[in-house]
Amino acid sequence: MKQTILLPAGILLALGLGCSSQKAPEPEKHCALTGEIKALDDKSQTATIQHQAICDWMDAMTMEYPVQSKEEFAQLKVGDKITATVNIKGMNYSLSGVHKQNAAK
Ligand SMILES: [Cu+2]
Spacing, Cα 54 to ligand 1 middle (Å): 9
Cα(79) to ligand 1 centroid in Å equals 19
Is 58 within 8 Å of 52 (Cβ atoms)?
no
62 C-alpha to center of ligand 1: Å? 7
Q: E strand or H helix at 50, and its extent?
A: strand 46-51
- How many Cβ atoms are within 10 Å of 47's Cβ, its own excluded? 25
Per-domain residue ranges for the chain? 26-102
> Looking at the predicted structure, is the pLDDT value of residue 83 above 70?
yes
Q: Does domain 26-102 have CATH number 3.10.20.80?
A: no
pTM over 0.75: no
User: Does pLDDT of 90 surpass 80?
Assistant: yes
How many Å lie between the centroid of ligand 1 and the Cα of residue 24?
Answer: 21
Neighbour count for residue 35 (Cβ, 10 Å):
23
Instruction: Encode pLDDT of 8-56 as tens digits.
Output: 554 445 555 454 555 566 789 999 999 999 999 999 999 999 999 999 9
Query: What pLDDT is attached to residue 75?
Result: 96
Mean pLDDT of 61-72: 98
Environment of ion ligand 1 (residues, CB < 5 A) = 58, 61, 63
